[in-house]
Structure 1
């Protein structure tokens, strides 16, 4: 596996792959890799001739300086995992390499970013769109792979690709979970023992809410029940629980025939912020 650290090296590598007629897969990550990331690498390997994984903790998408400072950084372990998973190359740039000058570009995704993560983390999706755009321009992949745990982020990236006419396919894969239901996340490493013990209740709340949606319980009641359930656990401080249209991400007052529902939450556990979601198929809702 090749280790690339500059934009020029990444561009040279991917241009050579294209000249050789290879299909290129890109797996953007912020490192501290887990099985969810490696699932994306495996999927890219199965569909592409060359796979580049990026490891970059992007400062522009953090609106909390402490969250950025404490985000796990394990470059040696990450590159070992990527090599073992069969990555062709890993791109590990510095902040100065990705941002040689302060970016002044501003994205506006309209209603897509005015809810959930966008509402709670001002500027977050501008930072996501900026770094993803840079990676797409540098790597020019045929396919880019993302996890569905960040459901809203996937929707934002799809809109970005459509609006800017990137010639690539966005591929999203289901959330990978621990045996007790907790969604795998790099931030899980920061959970205290007490917080880790309480964390599976996030998925329990989502699963119970999904069952209520399938039963036709009104969205407001589904949300209220989920929030009440989470507040029963002292280690959990809910930030939001959304019952939304899976495509527009707008909160629902009632269910619409043929429209899938996404249940999204964010919560703080001992100072660590986690997100998760569950999609209820249209046929069930």
Structure 2
């Protein structure tokens, strides 16, 4: 059995780097989202250049597969890199509200991601929040908190937003260490917000339109260059995937089609993704 495994592992692969075609991959270049990225940079310029002077909050809305999450993650990662070079303590933390639906679980996740291990038992939400805010204050941490799929946050958990935003005024001695990037499909989740909270996010709102066919092709072409060896897939097949995916208005669907077709090619020990592989899954 070991010989079978060893033989298979030695077989050449169509993939140059399979990790770069996964949903969690955050590319260095965000094609067709450059102007949105630039808008975020302008919003956060003083938050990073003058730590503690001002906070910013942004709302990103758009349909599934329009690039909301990857835009926020790329921005957070870039802020982290630049801050490190400038010896500024900055953490960017991504929390999926579909998975962490309560204020308690969100604060617990933030603490874990900044390296503070606390027991999930024996602490109230208020106590956890106090631990978090004190840690931020003592270490002067700039926190960019991405609340992804905020649509799924339970209604009684909106208090968390008030607490984090209010902390900038009270507990943290007016120093603005916390900024929130909220991600949602649309604005319906704000129906239960009061005017003050609603205005916080509507001030800096980014609306992402679905990618069109040409944009999907451009992204697939760029992704193919880093995922596969040269000549693994033709432009005509990439165009076909883009055409199929445009009706779904979901870039993730296009990338998943590309990944699945490549896996079929690998299973067949082929170094080329053929049209018939796509036909099996599309």
Query: TM-score when scaled to structure 2?
Result: 0.29
Give the structure, 1 or 2, with the largest relative contact order (CA under 8 Å, sep 6 or more). Answer: 2
Relative to its length, the structure with more helix (as a share) is 2
Give the greater-gyration-radius structure (CA). 2
Query: TM-score when scaled to structure 1?
Result: 0.29
Relative to its length, the structure with more strand (as a share) is 1
